[in-house]
Amino acid sequence: MQLAAIIVSLVLATVGVALFGRAIAQILRFVLLGQPVPGGSRTNDPVARTVTVVREFLGHTRMNNWGVVGVAHWFVAVGFFSLLLTIANAFGQLFQADWLLPIIGSFLPWELVVEVFGSMMTVGILTLIVIRLANLPSRAGRKSRFTGSKAWQAYFVEYVILTIGICIMVLRGLEGALHQVEGYEAAYFASYPLVLAFDGLSTGTLANLVYFFAMVKIAASFIWMITISLNTNMGVAWHRFLAFPNIWFKRNADGAVALGALQPMTSGGKVIDFEDPGEDDVFGVSQVEQFSWKGILDFSTCTECGRCQSQCPAWNTGKPLSPKLLIMSLRDHAHAKAPYLLAGGGKDMEGNEKATAEQLKDVPAAALAEAERPLIGTAEENGVIDPDVLWSCTSCGACVEQCPVDIEHIDHIVDMRRYQVMIESAFPSEAGTMLKNLEKKGNPWGLAKKQRVEWTKEVDFEVPIIGKDAEDLSEFDYLYWVGCAGALEDRAKKTTKAFAELLNIAGVKFAIMGGDEKCTGDSPRRLGNEPLFQQLAQENVAMLNMAFGEDDEDPETKKPKTAKRIVSTCPHCFNTIANEYPQLGGEYGVIHHTQLLQHLIDEGRLTPVTPVDGLITYHDPCYLGRHNKVYTPPREIMSAVPGLRQQEMHRHKERGFCCGAGGARMWMEERIGKRINNERVEEALSLNPDIVSTACPFCLVMLTDSVNGKKNDGQAKESVQVVDVAQLLLESVRSRVEEAPAEDTDANPEPVR
């Protein structure tokens, strides 16, 4: 028994270590096939990045949002690393049954670590196995987050961990019996029942059992190592190693997820200058090797857990996009194509092969065939990613928010969209109308610029206009960026007028642009038309800088004389100006209207007094909530309005469900599956509310359209309203006659950006 155990263990260990070393080298070479990233963007502030990795791993900050799953996974993950020395102990036990690690082998703290994590890792993996079995795709279909995952790989990993956990505890029991533990003691607090079970066996029998279970433990460990080494695309196993660098190299050193701003388009690791692009600049991604090395690391790190899939509005409404399956497809394609790329293969812009026949002579036929597949193409074209997958994305950010290993799905989707739009001119036809209107008129509806200020004639107070009533913003507290929807769309204009009236009541000095401003560029950028975004944004930045005037410092405060404060009722405008205009030199302090209104209520400048009776439920706009973490102000405003009874939808805040308008989907028809706005409205109506509120003009349009459709079909009561929180607040404030606010009252909360 002992000889067989030694031979089997040493052979498997030797093969496993050799293959594992080769696999690590392969993955490193594979990841480095990706394009460079702008200098320092992934390595700045190494201390903060290291702290982020430690916090996310030890705190399981993302996983613990999933309750029992997070706790079980924590014990499995931490147990994997904390119990590595038990393998060394098992090797020693092959040669001497009662062998213990030197120094720490009988050290009580170490024994407690083995007892705690050995037992809890076993319980944890059993819990995860039960959860997986309870969510079998064959039973749950699309509702299972494991749909599309490689089941054999997951079960293999889970049962190996279970085997190792059982072996650790059995070996602890055998150790106790060999060392003649006579009574319960702390060092064997979890394994003591096994000590009792083995009590009375002869020393020879105990020794043979030790040899056997030590061999099983070692064999399971190294069979696992051999298997994953031969399957470098086995994310369910490799994520336990690759997650650490993937988190360390995430976009934000402080640990924030890759939401908010989109990254500028780069080529060869440099940001493309659209006024003078280089001859060799590559626009977007049409080949897997055109992703950055961080993108390829992302693909390799995916653990196929399906949390992104379970939260994705496209997947949940029957569309072909699953963020998990997208990343898996890119990973498997990249790994299959890697031998061709590592041999020097690749195509130029005209589709000609760069490598010689001599270079490619040893490349496997499967890799050569994979290299011929288009990255984006239909099933008939043998494409890796179907175009419908790309155009189903609303860029809501649920996938990025939920991913426990910090994969940046949206950036990769937009990079592929950029190629489709800019090089292939292949995108949904309805979006073409929006792009033409933006190019000609500067707004998605193609309306004349003078109509941007028409709403000001519908209020009974003066709204100052820059360029007409004032030269610049030096005398005003805020520039109110009305946005295209707020100025031109009838339903959104109600929010615009309500907010302006509230500012007037509160005595806040504000002004608006005179109609020469353009769309901020949110939709064209997320559609993939980066040059149009750049054009619109640069014109707006120049106009804003002129409106704010010179940034001379006050000699006493050492601060700019003009505070560049902007308030917006549109989260898409808010996000773009706050997070993306700095990429073009536009640094402003931007807040959302709900933040300013909450501040004015807190300051006593707005006092809701008239009750607004009814049950209300609030829909979190993705670009306000998930992308910018503004969740509290809208709810605080509703709480301040007398009579309202709030009730949250099942999916809210970080797990809020999209309305379907983001990612330029506002301008594209939904032809596949269920309409996303209908799914969201059905969830809202299940609470039987009197009011559905939101804080975004896009959401307002989408929710209103769906509610009206439900009313026509008799599925919603006629009295249910869809309104912005500003309209609710105005309804409650209007009847109060307030004294003019004191001139020294501060109505300027700190901007969030």
Give the single-character DSSP code of 580.
Answer: I
Q: 675 in the Ramachandran plot: left (φ > 0), alpha (ψ -120 to 50) or beta? A: beta
Structure tokens at 130: 């039960």
Is residue 466 predicted with pLDDT exceeding 70?
yes
* Virtual torsion, Cα 198, 202, 208, 210, nearest 10 deg: 40
Q: What value does the mean pLDDT take over residues 224-231?
A: 96
Model pLDDT, residue 169: 96
Q: What value does the mean pLDDT take over residues 22-30?
A: 95
Q: How confident is the model at residue 740 (pLDDT cuts 50, 70, 90)?
A: very low
- HSE of 623 in the Cβ direction (CA atoms, 13 Å)? 33
Model pLDDT, residue 556: 63
DSSP secondary structure, 400-440, as one string:
HHH-TT---HHHHHHHHHHHHHHTS--S-HHHHHHHHHHHH
Do the beta carbons of residue 523 and residue 731 sit within 8 Å?
no
Model pLDDT, residue 749: 56
Element (H, E) at 541: helix 530-548
Q: Where are the domains of the chain?
A: 2-32+67-119+150-230, 248-349+356-426, 437-592, 602-733
Model pLDDT, residue 356: 87
Locate tokens 């890119």: which residue? 330
Is residue 267 predicted with pLDDT exceeding 60?
yes
Is residue 745 predicted with pLDDT exceeding 50?
no
Model pLDDT, residue 554: 56
Q: What value does the mean pLDDT take over residues 108-132?
A: 94
What 3-state class would DSSP assign to 155? helix
Sheet holding 691-694, edge to edge: 644-646, 614-618, 691-694, 721-724
Model pLDDT, residue 555: 58
What 3-state class would DSSP assign to 646? strand
Report phi then psi at 306, rounded to 5: 80, 10
pTM exceeds cut of 0.85: yes
Model pLDDT, residue 744: 45
Helices (H), 270-364: 293-301, 307-311, 323-342, 357-360
Report phi then psi at 460, rounded to 5: -100, 30
Report phi then psi at 403, rounded to 5: -60, 120
Residue-wise pLDDT tens digits, 232-242: 999 999 999 99
Do the beta carbons of residue 536 and residue 442 sit within 8 Å?
yes
Structure tokens at 182: 């006579």
Residue-wise pLDDT tens digits, 344-388: 998 877 778 888 888 999 999 999 999 999 999 999 999 999 999
Pairwise CA distance, residues 325 & 399, whole Å: 12
Query: Domain 602-733, what fold?
Result: Rossmann fold (3.40.50)
Helices (H), 179-319: 192-198, 203-230, 235-248, 293-301, 307-311
Structure tokens at 152: 């054999």
Lowest-pLDDT range of 14-18, 54-58, 66-70: 66-70
Q: What value does the mean pLDDT take over residues 56-75?
A: 89
Q: How confident is the model at residue 138 (pLDDT cuts 50, 70, 90)?
A: confident
Locate tokens 């890792």: which residue? 121
Distances (CA, A) of 165 to 82, 98, 116: 12, 19, 11
Q: How confident is the model at residue 243 (pLDDT cuts 50, 70, 90)?
A: very high
Model pLDDT, residue 551: 58
Do the beta carbons of residue 526 and residue 666 sit within 8 Å?
no
Do the beta carbons of residue 27 and residue 235 sit within 8 Å?
no
Lowest-pLDDT range of 92-96, 425-429, 737-741: 737-741
Residue-wise pLDDT tens digits, 33-60: 999 999 888 999 999 999 999 999 999 9
| Residue 405: count of CB within 10 angstroms of its CB | 22
Average pLDDT along the chain: 92
Measure the CA angle with vertex 310, ends 306 and 314; round to 5°. Answer: 115
Pairwise CA distance, residues 283 & 286, whole Å: 9
Longest Cα–Cα distance of the chain, Å, equals 100
Residue-wise pLDDT tens digits, 546-584: 998 765 555 565 555 455 799 999 999 999 999 999 999
